[in-house]
């Protein structure tokens, strides 16, 4: 059995949108501004608002794993 820590590869200093934007910028060769816009578009397509995308990945993961009936966008702020 292999135990994994899902938070270890995440930089706690970056916001969720910044991590997605970094990947978009590297893979698609976009400018920082365009990568940010694309990251927010991708997160919005997954029903993650811009306010939620500005959270740390760990707090976003805790919110996202809650059942839909218990999700509260202001939780953890």
Per-residue pLDDT tens for 51-70?
Answer: 988 988 777 665 555 565 55
Pairwise CA distance, residues 28 & 31, whole Å? 9
Is the entire prediction scored with pTM above 0.85?
no
Pairwise CA distance, residues 67 & 70, whole Å? 5
Q: How many CA atoms lie within 13 A of 51 on its CB side?
A: 7
Per-residue pLDDT tens for 7-49?
Answer: 566 677 889 899 899 999 999 999 999 999 999 999 999 888 8
Identify whether the C-beta of residue 38 lies closer than 8 Å to the C-beta of residue 28: yes
In Å, how far are 31, 40, 48, 64, 72 from 57, measured between CA atoms?
Answer: 22, 14, 12, 10, 16
pLDDT of 17: 92
Here the tokens at position 1 are: 């059995």
């Amino acid at each position: 059995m292999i135990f994994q820590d899902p938070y270890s590869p995440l930089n706690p200093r970056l916001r969720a949108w910044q991590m997605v934007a970094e990947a978009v910028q590297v893979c698609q060769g976009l400018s920082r501004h365009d990568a940010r816009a694309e990251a927010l578009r991708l997160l919005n397509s997954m029903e993650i608002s811009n306010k939620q995308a500005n959270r740390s990945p760990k707090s976003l993961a805790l919110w996202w794993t809650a059942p839909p009936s218990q999700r509260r966008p202001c939780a953890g702020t």
